[in-house]
């Protein structure tokens, strides 16, 4: 019998209902669909009546939901996280209505099915089904559901503040991040359950320079646009140095025994072969290159306000993902050295250092591994560093054991659909996700 089959239909139906509510996060509060954000908690209560009957709910920040499932002891609390806001869509690019929640061909379609309403639903299904069986947890279980993760909002920090006020030190925090994926490493035939131990830092910088303006018929040399272009070219020509972080070394050592024989001895010595492996991975493509270095992406350019006017100022926005082991300060220092032009200014828009690294050799990681084994018995559980930012980063302030993993199987196409088009999740993955959280909660004794 397929693992989790008894949970598939309920999870798919409820996810479909919640996807139909367009809880799109926007930087400008005036653009927010307040009716949708008010409707979602009501729909959640309708879908999961036992959860709302037995768990205590506190609203945090601008609509975040913090539930407490009281256990026999408050000594080793669990925090299970998800968020219910989603990114905007371009409907004309989708094969179907992005908010249809259509169930067809063994999948649920729509924005948020993977990021992150799918995770929220499998958590709630696990709790609801355990309550229906009369289960009571040994330790407190908290559900922290944010409503503004996609815009780096305030609800996750507010949840942390509330837990700190209550004196809660989570034994384990688990949020979105890694997933059960295939083809994650050359030669690996098994699926890998990748569990994030940390997140790269995020630094947004405006690169700006100025010069004399004038008519485009009489352009001067070395104007603002030329200086900016030269600075961007230097940044592109001098990427940050490569390095293997401790989580990635552990990942290679974990996957090594499951690879073809020629690679096994190399990965077994990954800790001693860091420089060579880092250089090799940097050449395999942008996905692996992003794992081994700080990356810089130029995402926006601005210059002249008119086609026949020489720009007096020119600017570019750089989105930088900082490698674990580096800091905002060291990153800015190196950028300044690479640009090497005092007329080009670097203005910090926002900044966050990489998070601390949670351990992969303790009982918390072992609990995740055991739940994966019960859910995806063929998968290899391995640590990694998450390249994106999540609400989990705030919880390092109150816990040393913060992990990033969605117990959903995803193909490469599905991973690309997150923040893209035609996002969808399989019903099989939803059923298995429910089993994962049931096992994680029930085994925490």
- CATH number assigned to the domain comprising residue 341: 3.30.70.360
Examine the domain organization and report whether 257 and 396 are in the same domain.
Answer: no
Examine the domain organization and report whether 342 and 235 are in the same domain.
Answer: yes
Examine the domain organization and report whether 189 and 207 are in the same domain.
Answer: no
Examine the domain organization and report whether 254 and 371 are in the same domain.
Answer: no
Contacts 24+ apart (CB under 8 A), 56-61: 58/162, 60/155, 60/158, 60/159, 60/161, 60/162, 61/146, 61/147, 61/148, 61/153, 61/154, 61/155, 61/156, 61/157, 61/158, 61/159
- Pairing state between β 424-426 and 107-109: antiparallel
Q: Please say which residue of 337, 353, 369 terminates a domain.
A: 353
Which two structure tokens, joined as six digits, stand for 4? 């989790």
Examine the domain organization and report whether 229 and 310 are in the same domain.
Answer: yes
pTM > 0.85: yes
Q: Which of 85, 128, 199, 428 is catalytic?
A: 85
The per-residue pLDDT for range 19-36, each reduced to its tens digit, is 999 999 998 888 999 999
Task: Let me know if 149 is a catalytic residue.
Answer: yes
Separation of alpha carbons 396 and 403, rounded Å? 10
- Pairing state between β 73-83 and 344-352: unpaired
For the cut 80, the answer to whether the pLDDT of residue 212 exceeds it is no
Task: Let me know if 85 is a catalytic residue.
Answer: yes
The per-residue pLDDT for range 399-433, each reduced to its tens digit, is 999 999 999 999 999 999 999 999 999 999 999 99
Dihedral (Cα; 328, 333, 334, 339), 10-degree rounding: 120
Q: Which of 128, 149, 150, 353 is catalytic?
A: 149
What's the pLDDT band for 266 if we cut at 50, 70, 90?
Answer: confident
* 3-class DSSP assignment, residue 38: helix
Average pLDDT of the chain is: 95
User: Considering its fold, how many domains does the chain have in total?
Assistant: 3
What's the pLDDT band for 316 if we cut at 50, 70, 90?
Answer: very high
Which two structure tokens, joined as six digits, stand for 130? 């355990």
Which two structure tokens, joined as six digits, stand for 48? 């999961």
Examine the domain organization and report whether 229 and 321 are in the same domain.
Answer: yes
Q: Please say which residue of 322, 353, 384 terminates a domain.
A: 353
For the cut 60, the answer to whether the pLDDT of residue 8 exceeds it is yes
Range of weakest confidence among 100-104, 226-230, 303-307: 303-307
Separation of alpha carbons 144 and 79, rounded Å? 7
């Amino acid at each position: 019998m397929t693992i989790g089959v008894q949970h598939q239909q309920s999870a798919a139906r409820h996810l479909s209902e919640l996807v139909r509510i367009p809880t799109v996060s926007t930087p400008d509060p005036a653009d927010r669909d307040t009716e949708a954000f008010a409707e979602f908690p009501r729909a959640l209560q309708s879908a999961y009546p036992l959860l709302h009957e037995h768990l205590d709910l506190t609203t945090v920040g601008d609509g975040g939901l913090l539930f407490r499932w009281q256990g026999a002891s408050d000594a080793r609390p669990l925090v299970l996280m998800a968020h219910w806001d989603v990114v905007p869509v371009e409907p004309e690019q989708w094969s179907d209505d992005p908010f249809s929640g259509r169930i067809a061909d063994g999948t649920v379609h729509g924005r948020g099915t993977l990021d992150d309403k799918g995770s929220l639903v499998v958590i709630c299904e696990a709790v609801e089904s355990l309550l229906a069986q009369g289960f009571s947890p040994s330790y407190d279980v908290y559900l922290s559901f944010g409503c503004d993760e996609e815009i780096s909002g305030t609800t996750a920090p507010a949840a942390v503040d509330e837990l700190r006020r209550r004196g809660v030190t989570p034994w384990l925090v688990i949020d979105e991040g890694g997933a059960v994926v295939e083809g994650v490493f050359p030669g690996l035939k098994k699926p890998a359950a990748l569990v994030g131990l940390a997140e790269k830092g995020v630094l947004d910088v405006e690169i700006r320079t100025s010069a004399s303006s004038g008519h485009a018929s009489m352009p001067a040399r070395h104007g603002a646009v030329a200086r900016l272009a030269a600075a961007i070219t230097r940044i592109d020509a001098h990427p940050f140095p490569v390095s293997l972080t401790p989580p990635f070394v552990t990942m290679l050592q974990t996957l090594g025994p499951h690879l073809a024989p020629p690679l096994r001895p190399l990965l077994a010595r990954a800790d001693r072969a860091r420089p060579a492996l880092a250089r090799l991975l940097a050449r395999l493509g942008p996905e692996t290159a992003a794992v081994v270095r700080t990356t810089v992406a130029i995402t926006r350019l601005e210059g002249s306000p008119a086609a026949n006017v020489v720009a007096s100022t020119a600017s570019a926005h750089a989105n930088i993902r900082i490698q674990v082991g580096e800091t905002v300060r060291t990153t800015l220092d190196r950028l300044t050295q690479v640009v090497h032009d005092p007329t080009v200014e670097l203005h910090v828009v926002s900044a966050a250092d990489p998070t601390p690294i949670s351990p992969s050799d303790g009982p918390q990681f072992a609990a995740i591994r055991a739940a994966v084994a019960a859910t995806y018995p063929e998968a290899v559980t391995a640590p990694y560093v998450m390249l994106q930012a999540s609400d989990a980063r705030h919880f390092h302030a109150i816990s040393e054991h913060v992990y990033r993993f969605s117990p959903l199987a995803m193909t490469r196409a599905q991973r690309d659909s997150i923040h893209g088009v035609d996002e969808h999740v399989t019903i099989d993955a939803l059923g298995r996700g429910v089993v994962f959280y049931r096992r994680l909660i029930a085994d925490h004794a």
